[in-house]
Amino acid sequence: MKNITSEEFAKLSGTVLVDFNATWCGPCRMLHPVLDELEKEYNDIQFVGIDCDDESDVAEKYNVTNIPCVVLLKDGKEVARSVGFRPKNSMAQFIEENK
């Protein structure tokens, strides 16, 4: 999963899992490998990252005040949100319940 720019983000469609993060955030760094593993298991969901320091406009649009923050979008509309670190099984459950 790679971090993308706000321009790239604007072009996304379908079901997208967005990881709002920052390089200095310890829990964000812990969550990244979990999301990398899950990305391989969910071919029907696009996984992207947004660095809140670099792309603050996107973070503001989605009212992200704490990170890591994972937002599941369907055609640009938020359907679910998870804040904080979650282990793989818990994050997989979050995805299953909301995709």
Residue 69 among the catalytic residues: no
How far does CA 39 lie from the centroid of its chain? 11
From 1, 18, 28, 59, active-site residue: 28
What token pair was written down for 19?
């990881």
Q: Which run of H or E residues covers position 29?
A: helix 26-41
Nearest Cα residue to 83 out of 74, 71, 99, 95: 71
From 25, 67, 69, 95, active-site residue: 25
Residue 52 among the catalytic residues: no
What amino acid positions are annotated as catalytic residues?
25, 28
